[in-house]
Amino acid sequence: MLPLALAACSSAPPKESFEAPVYPAAPDEARFIFERSLRYNTNVEPVTTATKLRRYATGAVDDIKGLVKPYGVAVRNGRVYVTDTVQRAVVLFDITGQRYAQFGDEKPGQLFKPVGIDISAQGEVFVADVSARRIVVFDAEGHFRRFIGGQEWFKRPAGVALSPDGSKVYVIDTGGVDTQAHHLFIFDARSGEHLATIGTRGNADGQFNLPLQISSSSDGTVYVVDKGNFRIQAFDENGAHKFSFGSIGRYPGQFFSPKGVSTDAHGNVYVVDTAFGNAQIFTPQGELLMVIGQRGQTSAPGNYMLPAGIDVDEDGRVYIADQFFRKVDIYKPIGLDTDSPGQQSE
């Protein structure tokens, strides 16, 4: 675990004059409003009376723990799991339980460079370790369960997603510039049995060029960020190509450096573009709906320098992880009548 210095952009609550950004901006009807950021353990752990007294009496400074270089994010029932490539661990912000934890830094499930992450219908946490070249499975509390795949299958596994029923694991292998092994793999989630390998390097339908992340929607459609081809490819649950959308460019609906991808309960597709510093939201068929965030030089809410991961929870909240600003920003749908993630779905 790496020590962290409490910076000026820490967990202090915003001033009363702070006006949370909304998206889209006026005069369009607002759909999302910034809710909070996650950076440190102090963002979720309560400050007790005993803690306040200890600080006053001793002048002690609390041990600050938090994000160093976040990448992927996955959320379920108020638990926000974030892969951290520098700490070589998964960071857990348990908003509902008001606690902070880290796991994956001990054998046998030790992580070396965790990037992609997803949570199964049964609550197991699946992590793509691009350096160890395997998928590592933990339970909801971070206890190691098993490995899936390995060096006999993977070159650079960067993305992982689960089918809606949790029976299948989809793994995106980025490959590399010196190999044709740019694949989508399908495994049995429980046994680890290899079920299918889809694609090779290229730009035709069902082929990939440095694919990066992956998400599975509620209807079983699998969306792959085909980064080097500047597009999103959609497949059915068995790996058959359905359609693609996107092209290279600098206008809304286009991509320049797409990275993270997620879907919501309605099947809408959320794509993070690192170059644009935002997340674009599309219909399940790939029609642009709106944009959240913008590229910025400060870590203010809605500003991003190196956004990487994205997820949408059961209540429709959007979580965006930024590597440079070491944060996860949370956006709440306008009109959502619950103050804590996961409550509405219970």
DSSP letters for 267-309: --EEEEETTTTEEEEE-TTS-EEEEE-EE-SS--TTEESSEEE
Instruction: Mention every residue, 6+ apart, whose C-beta is less than 8 A from residue 259.
Output: 212, 213, 225, 227, 272, 273, 274, 307, 308, 309
Among the residues of the chain, which ranges form H helices? 49-58
pTM: 0.92
| pLDDT tens per residue across all 346 residues of the chain | 444 433 334 444 444 567 999 999 999 999 999 999 999 999 999 987 766 666 667 665 668 999 999 999 999 999 999 999 999 999 999 999 999 999 999 999 999 999 999 999 889 999 999 999 999 999 999 999 999 999 999 999 999 999 999 999 999 999 999 999 999 999 999 999 999 999 999 999 999 999 999 999 999 999 999 999 999 999 999 999 999 999 999 999 999 999 999 999 999 999 999 999 999 999 999 999 999 999 999 999 999 999 999 999 999 999 999 999 999 999 999 999 877 786 544 4
pLDDT tens sequence across 281-329: 999 999 999 999 999 999 999 999 999 999 999 999 999 999 999 999 9
Q: Which residue has the tokens 């790939």?
A: 286
CATH of 22-333, one of 3.10.180.10, 3.90.950.20, 3.30.70.380, 2.120.10.30: 2.120.10.30
Give the pair of three-digit tokens for residue 66: 């938090």
Question: If 0-12 CB within 10 Å is exposed, 13-18 middle and 19+ buried, where does residue 112 land?
Answer: middle
| pLDDT, tens only, 25-77 | 999 999 999 999 999 999 999 987 766 666 667 665 668 999 999 999 999 99
CB 245 within 8 A of CB 261: no
- Distance between start and end Cα atoms, the chain: 33
